[in-house]
Amino acid sequence: MYVIFEGVDTTGKSTQVALFAQRHDNVIATKEPGGTKTGMKLRQILLEGEDKLSFNAELFLFLADRALHYDTVVKASRDNNIVISDRGFLSGIAYAMANHPDINSDFLLQLNRFALDENYPDKIVLFLTNFELITSRLSGKEHDVIEKRGVSYLLHIQDIMRNIIKALPIQVLEIDASLERETIYKRIEEFLYD
C-alpha cells in the first residue's frame, strides 16, 4: 500500500511517519521532496537554494523528484509493505496552485499522474491546522523558504488541498493536528490497517 501524509508545515506529519516506522515492521517511511539521494539534492535546491526559481523551474523540479521517488522507492515496495510518504502529489498541486492561481488544476493532476506512472496513492491522511496552532508551532522553529511566506499562505494551501481531494478517487482521513500525538496515531492506525 502507498499512503501519503499531507498537510502544511508544523501539523505533525513527520512525527507520525516516524512513529509508524518505529512501531510497524511493514512500514517504509519516506518523504517528498528528498526520498532519494538525488531527491535530497533537489530538496536543498527547492527549500534552501540561493537562486530565485521561476514557477516552471520549481514545478518541474518537484515533478522530477516525485517521478524518481515513485520509481525507486514506492513502486518496489508498495505490494508487500506500507509505504508512508511525508508529503506527495497533493502538496505539489496545492503549492503550485497557490503560487500560480491561473494554472489549471486538471493540467497539474495530469502532470502528477504522469510523474507517478499513472498511480495515485491508495490512501491519504490529511493533517489539518488552524491559525492559532500553526502560529504557535512556527514561532519555535527556523523557517524555510515556504514557511517564510506566512501563516495565511499556509492556511490557503490547506484549503486548496481539501478542495483537490474532493475530486479524487482516494480514501482520505482528515486529522485535527491539535489532538494528542497518541490519539492521532491510533486514528491513523485504524484507517491504515482497517
Cell numbers given for 9: 508545515
DSSP 172: E
First-to-last alpha carbon distance for the chain, in angstroms, is 12
Cell 525507486 appears where? 72
Q: What is the rounded (10 degree) CA torsion for 18, 21, 27, 30?
A: 40
Q: Give pLDDT tens digits for 108-124.
A: 999 999 999 999 999 99
Q: What is the rounded (10 degree) CA torsion for 157, 176, 19, 152?
A: 30
Of 183 and 139, more confident: 183
Cell numbers given for 58: 520549481
DSSP string for 73-125:
IIHHHTTTSEEEEES-HHHHHHHHHHH-TTS-HHHHHHHHHHHTTT---SEEE
Q: Which CATH number fits domain 2-193: 3.40.50.300, 3.90.1150.10, 3.40.50.2300, 3.40.640.10?
A: 3.40.50.300
The residue extents of the domains of the chain are 2-193
Q: Give pLDDT tens digits for 20-31.
A: 999 999 999 999
**Predicted structure pTM score:** 0.90
Mean pLDDT of the chain: 91
Q: What is the rounded (10 degree) CA torsion for 39, 60, 122, 15?
A: 50
